Amino acid sequence: MQSMRRVLRGAPARTFVVQPRPPKRRLLELTLVRHGQSEGNLAYRRAGQGDDSLYDGAFMDRHSSLWRLTDRGRREARAAGEWLKENCDTFDAHYTSEFLRAMETSALLDIEGARWYAEPNCRERDWGSWDLARPNERLSKEESRRRRAGLYFAPAGGESLAAVILRVDLLLDYLHGRYPDRRVLIVCHGELMWAFRLRFEKLNQIQFRDMAHVARHEERIHNGSVLRYTREDPATGEAAKSFRWMQLATPGHGDEMKRRPPWKEFRPMSYSNSDLLELVGRFPNIYRSSLDEPGARPASILPAEQDDTGWPGERG
């Protein structure tokens, strides 16, 4: 403890004691499981292959939160459950999204003695107008906006992934405070798991764009995938102050390295001045001239036929 003396004019000297900050309360390990294949996953995949016959009848009458698992999804859930039993210590708390496909997956993990809490903040990203849209119904203008906006894209009436991160923050504040030095399991959705990655690894929007190009391969979060974060060094058992190791496994995958991947050490990203300038430099200035010169119209560096952006601020 530190002490300091404060002397007030005409008053006796008083001593104030400054208490040290208590250590931060943090989870020891967080394990996230993506639900197994859902009826919506199946309908969307088949529509992408040219068969949209499943977008009909009762399927179109239900909200996406009420989709069930397919037979394949139930197998993926059971495989994830076996993987957890073989590779994880006992969990101190069990949480699930309120969406039926996550609740069904949770039950089929078959974790002995589990008592599940259904948590609204674990829900899927809100896709708004895209919720029941076939792949060919996603208007080209919206798709173009998605590619341009990346992390900040939200379909009409829906959520951006950046907004999902805010839900993750609320959830983490609660879990860290309630379960310090404990292990928690959450069954949820792929977009939520990406939001956890962005938060823990402190990835920026440019890195997210880069990772989106490889997500179909190395970084993809399949149905039934397990994503783990821990403070405990897998080699020594010593606990770090914050999450330092991650593991992304797909229990039902044909590749052994996907089923049993090694732990990866990571550090949340931070940037030097030169790092920031290097990232910024990947996006050249749109205009060559300085807007600070009175009366100067900036000359676009884009070819004239592509320059349809107008003046800054003209389009709100």
pLDDT of residue 22: 62
Say whether pTM exceeds 0.75: yes
Antiparallel, parallel or unpaired: β 245-249 and 264-265: antiparallel
pLDDT at 262: 95
Among 236, 237, 218, 234, residue whose Cα is nearest residue 266: 234
- Taking the C-alpha atoms of residue 295 and residue 101, their distance in angstroms, rounded to an integer, is 60
Sites in the chain below the pLDDT cut of 50: 1-4, 7, 304-316
Residue 148, pLDDT score: 87
Cβ atoms of 243 and 181 within 8 Å: the answer is no
Phi-psi map region of 68: left, alpha, beta (phi>0 left; psi -120 to 50 alpha): beta
* Per-residue pLDDT at 145: 87
DSSP codes of every residue in 175-202:
HHHHSTT-EEEEEE-HHHHHHHHHHHHT
What pLDDT does residue 12 have? 61
